[in-house]
Structure 1
Amino acid sequence: MHQSDSSPWQASAACADLSPSVVFSRRGKEAAPALRACAVCPVRRECETAVAPAESWFDGVCAGRLWRNGRPVKPRRRRGEPAPAPRTAATALAGHADHAALDAAGAALAGGDRG
């Protein structure tokens, strides 16, 4: 049975002409063409919304990521590729400084409303 009810965004998907075995692959090497297509795809958001990979326990490529059982697969490093820069205490604290300032401002406003 042919379903002519496909969404308009699907025709615009960069992976539309790829083999389903590539798009629904569980392995990074085999899914590489679909991942490259996602990088330039104009409908990534629509795809992720429609597929809802985490809720549907999706296997394959969706919205620029490889998914297995509804969980994004972390890309493997290739030999000789440097490890990602470790997060330092300074970079971790930098994000918290903004939150602390907002909390302090919020507390000051809350205290001022008690009049």
Structure 2
Amino acid sequence: MFQPDPTPWQAAAACAGLSPAVVFARRERQAAPALRACAVCPVARECEAAVAPAENWFDGVCAGRLWRNGRPVKPRSRAGATRPGGGPAPLDARSVAAQLDAVLTGGLPARTGGHRD
């Protein structure tokens, strides 16, 4: 069966080599590699325009966010992540990628009790 070559933006996507189980994961922990890839992806805008996650009840990672049923999932907050004026600190792609790397490599201390994914 003929399979067309991916469009140029798809070939340039940082997630191109990741498992579909990672890209279409519904939980942050399983989706972490795809979220890290999105943080540095040169075609995130093209991806979001093509996938249109909010219009298609999408589940998975698209354009740097985790989506469930077409709605962006609010990232879990970290203790101490507040700014001087109060409220949560603003997130940027690099800090999210660094936090995910730390969690996956065991760089953060283990939590005791509480909710687990």
Identify whether the pair has TM-score above 0.5, normalized to the shorter chain: yes
Between the aligned residues of both structures, percent identity stands at 73
How far did residue 37 of structure 1 move? 0.3
How many residues were matched structurally? 86
1:18 corresponds to which residue?
18
2:4 corresponds to which residue?
4
User: What per-residue deviation string (whole Å, max 9, x for no partner) do you get for residues 5-38 of structure 1?
Assistant: 5211101000000000000000000000000000
Structure 1 unaligned segments of length 5 or more: list them: 88-115
- CA distance in structure 2 between the partners assigned to 1:2 and 1:19 by the alignment: 22
Counterpart mapping for 1:14-53 below 5 A? 14-53=14-53
Paired AA for residue 22 in structure 2: V
For the structure 1 residues 73 and 5, does the alpha-carbon distance in structure 2 shift closer, same or farther, using more than 3 Å as the test? same
- CA distance in structure 1 between the partners assigned to 2:18 and 2:47 by the alignment: 15
**Larger RCO of the pair (alpha carbons < 8 Å, separation 6+):** 2
2:100 corresponds to which residue?
none
Spell out structure 1 runs of 4+ moving beyond 2 A. 80-87
Aligned pair 1:82/2:90, yes or no? Answer: no
Looking at CA atoms only, which structure, 1 or 2, has the larger radius of gyration? 1
TM-score calculated relative to the size of structure 2? 0.67
Paired AA for residue 67 in structure 1: W
Structure 2 unaligned segments of length 5 or more: list them: 89-117
Paired AA for residue 82 in structure 1: A
How far did residue 86 of structure 1 move? 2.9
- CA distance in structure 1 between the partners assigned to 2:2 and 2:24 by the alignment: 20
User: What per-residue deviation string (whole Å, max 9, x for no partner) do you get for residues 22-79 of structure 1?
Assistant: 000000000000000000000000000000000011000000000000000000124x
CA RMSD in angstroms comes to 1.8
How far did residue 83 of structure 1 move? 4.5
- CA distance in structure 2 between the partners assigned to 1:16 and 1:32 by the alignment: 15
Counterpart mapping for 1:46-61 below 5 A? 46-61=46-61
